Chains A and B, each alone.
Chain A
Amino acid sequence: MTICRGRCLRVDLTTQEIATTSTPDDGIGGRSWNSLTLLRELAPGIDPLGPENILCLSVGPLTGSELIGSCRFIASAKSPLTGYLGDSGARGFFAPELRWAGVDQIVFTGAAERWVYLLIDDGTVELRDASHLVGRDITETTTDLRRELHDPDLQVAAIGPAGEHLVRYAIISCNLARAAGRTGMGAVMGSKRLKAIAVRGSQPVKPADPDRFRRACTELEAAIEGHPEFESRRLYGTTRIMDSLAAMGVLPAYHFRSANFDEVEKVNGRALRRDHVVKPKSCYNCNIYCSRYNVTEYNEGEGPEYEAQAGFTVKCGNADLELAVGVSNTVNRLGLDCISTAEVIAWLMECRHEGLIADADVDGIDLGWGSREALLRLPEMIARREGIGNLLADGSRRAAEVFGPEAERLTAEVKGLELFSADPRGIKGYGLMNAVNSRGGDHYRAEPSIELTGDEVLAIRRVGNPDAAHALKEEGKGALVNYAEHLGILSDSLTICKNISCCMDVVDFDLAAVAYSGLLGKDVSPGQLWEVCTEVGQAERDFNLREGLRPDEDTLPRRFVDAPIPDGPAAGTTIDITRLVSDYYREKGWREPPPGEN
């Protein structure tokens, strides 16, 4: 059954030909369109950084509408970091503009001979020379394009030096700091010599059944404003979570060596707001406006979110928040994923701490915990593949192969994708999510956020098991992660901010069905949406199995499986990842080991 269909631009960068077709007719927007396109069109086994890879960029039918937070685009391709399905979403203002330009999906194939950018000006689409933008960072690229096209309102999604140099965790970024950050979609864009996509659009998004659509919008608005986290999200955004994670005993201090970071008060959300935040910032059409603008002695910019904040402080053993915020701004400008970058640096510091490498191995850079020199210099070197940066640009898994098995033992990645800033042993749902999700070690794929709030009532409503709400219990986590994955696919398809839909848990399939029905002017049931999400999840699994995924890769790094949390409030906690994964497989109805094993 076809729920919705959109307009797809096909851009062949080799021949520079552009054609218009339709999106897949069995998806519901965004990630669903991209995953189905890639499963059907991408040849197995190709080089992710070769011209055979396909880069898809989608919005959904609700993007750019009145629905709060409907502001994301999803970029998907085979990941150069994991070798499996890669995709990542970005908030901000690019996605609505693309929708107003009448484009729902762009499928880039081939590779250009010389650097180009794509200009979409309502009905007009053209590839243009981008040689003058090469080497420019994300802020410069965006600002240059706005100036030369005489349009300060122009929306630009660009890569920085990191994408140009094929750093395997390079981002595609819009609005200077809103990144499609994970799995190296910026490197795929760079491999195609596509520097940027610039868009302006004026075509209205008009719901076919305004009253019904308005009902969904009003319901969501009320749910957000009545939410217990509403005020703290307004004040601190994602940076609010540092204190909670500290209390739960899952901070990744000194690269997961400790759950205690004595100077947490110096680097938490309150410290950030007190010392560096000059104003809140918002993505498109959001009544929470949870982002922030910072000014530091180094630079200024939007952010950081929790991951950059914790990654460049707690994880690296650095108590200098000003430095961390400055680094976060730089990493955004260079076009690097802050999670992978922080993880690579923190891992390197731990290798140094363990005596596995010497400063001399890394161009003489001081790798002591919290080293200012390392934090200031390494991102620049990684983004341009200079010195040791060339090796680190390939991610911690590949770098560890060079540094040897002891260094390998210290990595924190799943399927090649670096882990977030929390200890998966003390939040079992997140631990399981990191082990099994289709893009590798990652928390934002789907957020089993109920175990952060401990809301038993909601856990019963969502998965029928109050245990699912307890971070330290392993019961009910297969069902919780399966539900969260469905909600993740739904969110990435319709394309709403997952902090709203998944973390605050204020969007469910019922509400989404009203929104789709109102926008499209036809009856779409929650069951139909659930079914599409199941099919898309299976398509993503099939894609990865086809690329050689083995079930034994659905696990956590050995360091978390073999040893308990060493200290802090959750000291002694272990994680039985085999049990959790089995529970999840059962929930999915997969055989053990699952079908498709080669």
Chain B
Amino acid sequence: MTAVIPRDRGGAYKEYPVIKCDIRLCVGCRICEVTCSAFHFGAVSPALSRIRVAKLEEIGIDMAVACVSCAEKSCLVCPTDALTVGEEGEIALARELCTSCQECVSACPVGAVGFYEDLPLFCDLCDGDVSCVRTCPTDALSNVDEGGESLEAFAASDGNPAEKRAAYVEVQGVPLRDSWAAGQRVDS
């Protein structure tokens, strides 16, 4: 992947590693949500998790969605400039500037920005030992230097974050569904 060039903020972003989910391996157990919320808050609730699993039950598709460190950096829409891109390429939140307006939450095209107790939640890779990757029982999750995916195609997605996650995952699931229709089975 090439380094990400921001459109309106000047300077090049450093490439930031992201959590990738292999949709073929995700079984929808939500252990990533459990460990993410437990790691950061010492408590369990998906509302506290920075990674969320979209479970499209009627078509058998599951996929965890976390910040993809997208090319567009849509969340930087922040009206009080509480959000910036940090030195490592991460999304950095200046808590004292945040007014809890949730515009960043709404702006993310794939619903990957959480919100809990008046603050948005961004994946911080657990300061190095990424808990969701470590505990994923199927190794569907990996921590890779592949940030910079363009989410332009999803920018016009309607709806709330959960609906956006579902819409994003439905598109990601098309090749897998096609392979099933063509006779692909779990061991074939």
Residues of A whose CB lies within 8 Å of any CB of B are 64-66, 93, 100, 139, 142-143, 150-153, 175-176, 201-207, 210, 273-287, 289, 292-293, 295, 300-302
Contact = CB atoms under 8 A, between A and B. Distances in A.
Nearest to B179: A278
B60 A302 contact: yes
- The A interface, classified by DSSP as helix, strand, loop or mixed, is loop
The 3 A-B residue pairs whose C-beta atoms are closest, nearest first, are A202-B47, A282-B29, A204-B43
Nearest to B42: A210
A416 B79 CA distance: 66
A438 to B, nearest CB: 32
B33 to A, nearest CB: 9
A280 B45 contact: no
B26 to A, nearest CB: 9
A228 to B, nearest CB: 18
B44 interface: yes
B57 A176 contact: yes
B125 to A, nearest CB: 21
Given A64-B44, A100-B45, A289-B27, 14 more contacts: A93-B55, A150-B159, A152-B165, A153-B162, A202-B45, A204-B37, A204-B45, A277-B187, A278-B186, A285-B34, A286-B137, A292-B186, A300-B60, A302-B57
B44 A284 contact: no
Contacts of A152: 54-56, 162-163, 165-166
B28 A278 contact: no
Contacts of B100: none
Contact of B160 (A150, A280, A284): A150
B27 A282 contact: yes
B31 interface: yes
Nearest to B62: A281
A273 B186 contact: yes
A148 B38 CA distance: 31
A151 B162 contact: yes
A175 B184 contact: no
30 contacts: A100-B46, A151-B160, A151-B163, A152-B55, A153-B46, A176-B58, A201-B45, A203-B45, A205-B45, A206-B42, A273-B185, A273-B186, A274-B187, A280-B27, A280-B186, A281-B62, A282-B27, A282-B29, A284-B29, A284-B30, A285-B30, A285-B34, A286-B137, A287-B31, A289-B27, A289-B29, A295-B180, A300-B60, A301-B60, A302-B60
Contacts of B162: 150-153
Interface string B176-188: 0000110011110
Given A204-B41, A285-B34, A276 B46 contact: no
B64 interface: no
A248 B45 CA distance: 44
B28 A143 contact: no
Nearest to A140: B58
B57 A100 contact: no
Contacts of B116: 202
B126 to A, nearest CB: 16
B47 A150 contact: no
B172 interface: no
B48 interface: yes
A274 B181 CA distance: 15
B99 interface: no
Nearest to B166: A152
Contacts of B138: 280, 289
Contact of B57 (A64, A175, A204, A279): A175
Contacts of A281: 27-28, 60, 62
B44 A205 contact: yes
Interface in B110-155: 116, 137-138
Contacts of A175: 55, 57
Contacts of B41: 204, 206
B28 A282 contact: yes
B27 A278 contact: no
Interface in B46-76: 46-48, 52, 54-60, 62
Contacts of A276: 185
A273 B188 CA distance: 10
A153 B27 CA distance: 16
A273 B185 CA distance: 8
Contacts of B28: 281-282
A289 B187 CA distance: 16
A64 to B, nearest CB: 6
Contacts of A277: 185-187
Contacts of A176: 57-58
B46 to A, nearest CB: 7
Contacts of B29: 282-287, 289
A143 B62 CA distance: 16
A42 B24 CA distance: 49
A279 B47 contact: no
Contacts of B165: 152
B150 to A, nearest CB: 24
A280 B27 CA distance: 6
B45 A273 contact: no
A402 B162 CA distance: 52
Nearest to B41: A204
Q: Max chain B CB contacts within 10 Å: which of A151, A278, A284?
A: A278
Nearest to B35: A66
Contacts of B184: 278
A279 B60 contact: yes
Contact of B185 (A65, A274, A301): A274
Contacts of B55: 93, 152-153, 175
A158 to B, nearest CB: 12
A284 B27 CA distance: 10
Contacts of B54: 152-153
B185 A278 contact: yes
Contacts of A300: 59-60
Interface in B1-26: 24
Given A66-B38, A279-B186, A282-B28, A204 B47 contact: yes
A93 B34 CA distance: 13
B57 A142 contact: yes
Contacts of B38: 66
A293 B44 contact: no
A300 B46 CA distance: 28
A151 B165 CA distance: 11
Given A100-B46, A176-B57, A205-B45, A287 B137 contact: yes
B76 to A, nearest CB: 26
Contacts of B43: 204-207
A300 B181 CA distance: 11
A210 B46 CA distance: 18
Contacts of A295: 60, 180-181
A2 B47 CA distance: 30
B44 A204 contact: yes
B152 to A, nearest CB: 23
Contact of A278 (B31, B34, B60, B160): B60
